[in-house]
Structure 1
Amino acid sequence: MSQKLVIIEPIGISADEAQALKEKYLPDDVEMVYYETKAKDAEEQAARLKDASLVMLANSPLREDALSKGQDVKFLSVAFTGVDHVAMDYCREQNIVVSNCSGYANEAVSELVFGLAIGIYRKLAACDEAVRSGKTRAGLLGLELSGKTFGVVGLGAIGRQTAKVAQAFGCKVLGYNRSKKDIEGVEQVDLETLLKESDIVSLHVPLTAATKGLIGEKELSLMKPSAILINTARGPVVDTAALAKALTDGTIAAAGIDVFDGEPPIPADNPLLKAPHTLFAPHVGFATKEALAKRAVIAFENVSKYLQGQPQNVMG
C-alpha cells in the first residue's frame, strides 16, 4: 500500500534537494509533497495534512486542531530537536509516532553560545558602533573567556559540546544535569552551586513542565553580579520579567539571548527589549547551512526507519 509524505513547511533545503533525499531514502511508492511556504493558520495546515500518513515539519506549532483533521497521519518526523511545539498528548492518544532530529545542531548552537559570550565580553556591538562613528577604543576594555568558570545547565548533546568548547577556551567547566553524567573535564554540581560559582551560565535543557521558569528571580539572585547568562535553549526556561529586572538592577552583568517566549518578531512590550546589557539573536542557533543539511538527512532517515518498522529518535 503506497503512502503519502507531506512536508508541511520549509525545512531549510530546496525542493530538488528534498526530492534527491526522497529518492535516496524512501521507497518508490511513497508519494511526496513539499510545501515551500509556511501555512498561514491551522486551517491551512489541516488542508495540507489531507491524505498524509507521513508528515514532516520544522518548528511551526502543530496543535491538535490541525492534527486531528489528518485522519491518516501515523508518523511525524520533526526536523527540530525540541518537540514542545507539537501536540504530543494528542499524538500519544492516537498512537502517532513522533521522531525528532536530535544532534543536527550540536555544533551550530554551541558555537553561537560562544559568539554571544564573546560578543558580550569584548563589547562587539559597541566596538562596531565606535568605528562607524569615528570613536576610539576608549571605554571598550573587555574580558577573556580563559580562566573563567563556565556553567552548563543540561548535559545533553548540545550541553556536552558546549562544555567541550568551553574547555578549549581555557574555562573551568561546571555542569548540572538531572542524572549523573561522566564527562571528562566537567565537574557536576547542583544547580545552586553552579549558579553561585559560574562567571558564565549557559542553558541547554528542553522545555518541559519541570524546566519552565527554571531560572527565575531566586536563581538569578544566586549568580555573581559580574556573571552573564546565555540562553540558546528555549525562551520559557527563563522568567522573562525576572531576567529583565535582574539586568536593570545589576543583579547580573549581562545576557545573551537567542530564544524568547515566542518566535521572533518579538512583541514591542517584551521587557527584555528595554533591559540594559543584552545581546540578542532572532533564534538562529540552529540555522547554519551545515546544520540544516544534516537535519534534512536525519528527517528522511527517520521516515525510512519508520517504514522499515524500526523507528529511531522516537520522542515519548
Structure 2
Amino acid sequence: MTDLTPRLRIAILDDYQDVVRTLDCFSKLRGHEVTIWNDAVADVDVLAERLATADALVLLRERTKVDEALVSRLPNLKLVSQNGHVPHIDLAACTRHGVLVSSALTQRPSYPTVEFTWGLILAAMRNIPLESAELRKGIWQSTVGLGLRGRTLGIYGFGRLGSMVARIGVAFGMELLVWGRQGSLDRAQKEGLPVASSKETFFAQSDVLSLHLRLNAETAGLIGPADLALMKPSALLVNTSRAELIEPGALVSALRNGRPGKAAVDVFEHEPLTDPNHPLLLLPNALCTPHLGYVERDNYEFAYGNAFDQVVAFAKGTPINVHNPDVLKQEHHNEP
C-alpha cells in the first residue's frame, strides 16, 4: 500500500480455523486495519455491533448472509469482497446503500472437493473411520468392507466436478453411469460414457451415487424418498454438493429403511452444524463431515487471494469483479 492509498478498516468473517493470518496472501492487506472473527454469528444485532466501523467485509463462500437487515445498519460499509457466487448477498440492498460487491467468478475447478469426495467414498465403503476408532479400543477387524473395482459409479450432474470424479472412478476400475439434465447427458455421451435410460434406472443400478449439482430453484428438493428407495441396500450415496438437493428428512428416513445402505455427507441444510443430536449424526450408516470439501490451504490461498486483490483494487479506486456496477454510477458514491 502506498502513502496515497486510503487505509481501510477491514473485517474478515467466519475464519473458523483462525487460518487467514497464516496465509501468504494475507500480506496483501498490509497497511490496512484488519479485524478477524473466528466464530459463526447469525444474529444481526451482534453483527451490526461488531461491524459498525468496517469499511470492507471479506467473506468466505456463503458463511454469512449479507442482506438489507445487516447492510442498513453499517453506515461506513463500502465494499463486500469474496470469491465465487453470491446467492447469500442481497445485491439490490447493497446497491441501495452504496455498497460495492466484488467477487471473482473463476473457472478454476474445486480440485479439493473432488479429492475429498473420493476420500469419503473410500472411507465409507471400507469402513475406515469405524475401524480406526475400534482399533483404539482394542478391537481388531470388526467389519468387512466393499471394494470399488467392477462396481457402478453413478454421477448425478456431469459438469466440471462430476466429470473429474467420474474419471477417477475409471482409474479405480469402476463402471460409470451418468444422469442429469440434457447438457450432462450430452457431455457424457461425447466422452463415450454411458448414460442411464431413466432416473429410476440410475438410482437402482448405482453402487456409489455421487451428487454434483448446483443448487438453484430447479434442483432444490430434486431427490425424494421414491428415488432413494430404489437404491440397493449395499449402495452408498455421497453428497459433497448441497444438502438441499435432497428433500428435507428424506435421507434420514431412507437410511433408517436401509436403502441406500450408507451415506457420506459433507453438507447440511443449516451450517455450521453444531448440534450433536442432529438425526444424521445419530445414524451409524451415515459418515458425516463438517463441509470440508473446499477447506484446503491452497484453495484458501486462491479464494482469499482473490478477495484481498479486490480489496486492494477498491482502495486504489479501481474496483474489479464488480457484481453491482450501478453503485459506481451513483453521483454521491462514497470514495474510499
Q: Cα–Cα, structure 1 residues 84 and 127, in superposed 2: closer, same or farther, change >3 Å? A: same
* Equivalent AA in structure 2 for residue 311 of structure 1: N
* Whole-angstrom CA distance in 2 between matches of 1:77 and 1:156: 26
1:78 equivalent among 52, 57, 82:
82
Give the drift of 1:71: 4.5
The aligned counterpart of 1:286 is 294
Q: Cα–Cα, structure 1 residues 38 and 275, in superposed 2: closer, same or farther, change >3 Å? A: closer
* Whole-angstrom CA distance in 2 between matches of 1:259 and 1:187: 28
The aligned counterpart of 2:152 is 149
The aligned counterpart of 1:20 is 27
Residue deviations 1:194-224 (CA, integer Å, cap 9, x gap): 3232211112223323222222212212323
Q: Cα–Cα, structure 1 residues 55 and 193, in superposed 2: closer, same or farther, change >3 Å? A: farther
1:259 aligns with 2:259: no
Contact 1:220 1:252 in 2 (8 A): yes
Residue deviations 1:30-79 (CA, integer Å, cap 9, x gap): x4534243474323433454465543112432242112323465543234
The aligned counterpart of 2:38 is 37
Q: Highest CA radius of gyration, 1 or 2?
A: 2
Give the drift of 1:247: 1.0
* Whole-angstrom CA distance in 2 between matches of 1:187 and 1:221: 23
* Whole-angstrom CA distance in 2 between matches of 1:218 and 1:248: 14
Q: Cα–Cα, structure 1 residues 136 and 98, in superposed 2: closer, same or farther, change >3 Å? A: same
Q: Cα–Cα, structure 1 residues 278 and 227, in superposed 2: closer, same or farther, change >3 Å? A: same
* Equivalent AA in structure 1 for residue 321 of structure 2: P
Q: 3-state SS of the aligned residue for 1:142?
A: coil
Between stretches 250-259 and 219-228, larger displacement belongs to 219-228
Between stretches 291-300 and 184-193, larger displacement belongs to 184-193
Q: 3-state SS of the aligned residue for 1:175?
A: strand
Contact 1:15 1:34 in 2 (8 A): no
CA RMSD of aligned residues (A): 3.4
The aligned counterpart of 2:321 is 311
Count, aligned residues: 306
Contact 1:78 1:101 in 2 (8 A): no
* Whole-angstrom CA distance in 1 between matches of 2:170 and 2:272: 32
1:274 aligns with 2:276: no
Contact 1:207 1:236 in 2 (8 A): yes
* Equivalent AA in structure 1 for residue 305 of structure 2: V
* Equivalent AA in structure 2 for residue 46 of structure 1: A
Q: 3-state SS of the aligned residue for 2:299?
A: helix
The aligned counterpart of 1:112 is 116
Between stretches 285-294 and 173-182, larger displacement belongs to 173-182
1:62 aligns with 2:69: no
Give the drift of 1:186: 4.1
Q: Which aligned runs of 4 or more in structure 1 are off by greater than 6 angstroms?
A: 92-95
Give the drift of 1:122: 0.9
Q: 3-state SS of the aligned residue for 2:183?
A: coil
* Whole-angstrom CA distance in 1 between matches of 2:313 and 2:155: 33
How does the TM-score come out when normalised to structure 1? 0.79
Between stretches 108-117 and 219-228, larger displacement belongs to 219-228
The aligned counterpart of 2:222 is 214
* Whole-angstrom CA distance in 2 between matches of 1:105 and 1:34: 30
* Whole-angstrom CA distance in 2 between matches of 1:38 and 1:169: 40
1:152-171, aligned counterparts within 5 Å? Answer: 152-171=155-174
* Whole-angstrom CA distance in 2 between matches of 1:103 and 1:141: 41
* Equivalent AA in structure 1 for residue 11 of structure 2: I
* Equivalent AA in structure 1 for residue 136 of structure 2: R
The aligned counterpart of 1:6 is 10
1:203-242, aligned counterparts within 5 Å? Answer: 203-242=211-250
Contact 2:110 2:161 in 1 (8 A): yes
Q: 3-state SS of the aligned residue for 1:180?
A: helix
The aligned counterpart of 1:46 is 48
Residue deviations 1:167-200 (CA, integer Å, cap 9, x gap): 2222233333435143536445564443232211
Contact 2:24 2:301 in 1 (8 A): no
Q: 3-state SS of the aligned residue for 1:147?
A: coil
Q: 3-state SS of the aligned residue for 2:287?
A: strand
How does the TM-score come out when normalised to structure 2? 0.75
* Whole-angstrom CA distance in 1 between matches of 2:320 and 2:113: 29
